[in-house]
């Protein structure tokens, strides 16, 4: 069987199979395409494969598992990077129950800057940030509490942290 015949016969099946692992169609297509790219580079060996069907499905399965492991690694790395920035911010916020700029004592400039920065966040972004950092909820818990996806929580936290970094860096540099 030629490479073109293999591709036409198996590509749609392998994409559906990969989608069972990685969920997103685009990721499934990319993984399947990578498998066929590797197979193309070793196209001379295609005739020596005894069970092409099992071989291709095994390759896609292994690629999906590698992809998922890498996603977990990326998420942990991103969380560690966020955590390193947030440690000091969390220390400042631990004793705060509400964020009302009018309640700030003039004696603590850093606290005022942090509160102003948090108050400047869009409402949804601020709510998610406070649930995570003040209440100590995990992203999954926040998503369930607010009825949104974990991905939305992650995105909103990224936005919050970026805006806080920019705002606090500008304030501290002044």
Per residue of the chain (174 residues), give pLDDT as tens. Answer: 788 888 999 999 999 999 999 989 999 999 999 999 998 888 888 888 889 999 999 999 999 999 999 988 888 877 776 666 566 565 555 444 444 444 445 446 777 788 888 888 999 899 999 998 888 889 999 999 899 998 999 999 989 888 888 887 776 665
Is residue 152 a contact partner of residue 143, using CB atoms and an 8 Å limit?
A: yes
- How far apart CA 116 and CA 114 sit, in angstroms, is 5
User: Which whole-number Å values give the CA distances from 163 to 55, 63, 117, 153, in the listed order?
Assistant: 48, 36, 8, 15
Give the whole-angstrom CA distance, residue 127 versus residue 105: 23
pTM assigned to the model? 0.48
Q: What is the three-class DSSP state of 122?
A: coil
């Amino acid at each position: 069987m030629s490479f073109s015949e293999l591709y036409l016969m198996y590509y749609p099946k392998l994409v559906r199979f990969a989608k069972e692992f990685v969920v997103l169609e685009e990721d499934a297509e990319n993984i399947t395409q990578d498998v066929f790219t590797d197979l193309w580079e070793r196209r001379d060996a295609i005739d020596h494969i005894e069970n092409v069907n099992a071989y291709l499905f095994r390759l896609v399965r292994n690629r999906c598992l590698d992809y998922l492991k890498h996603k977990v690694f990326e998420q942990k790395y991103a969380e560690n990077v966020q955590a390193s920035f947030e440690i000091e911010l969390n220390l400042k916020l631990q004793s705060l129950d509400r964020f009302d700029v009018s309640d700030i004592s003039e004696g603590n400039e850093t606290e005022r800057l942090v509160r102003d920065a948090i108050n400047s966040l869009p409402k949804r972004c601020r709510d998610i940030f406070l649930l995570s950092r003040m209440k100590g909820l995990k992203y999954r818990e926040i998503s369930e509490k607010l009825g949104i996806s974990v991905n939305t929580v992650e995105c909103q936290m990224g936005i919050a942290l970026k805006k806080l970094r920019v705002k606090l860096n500008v304030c501290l540099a002044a």
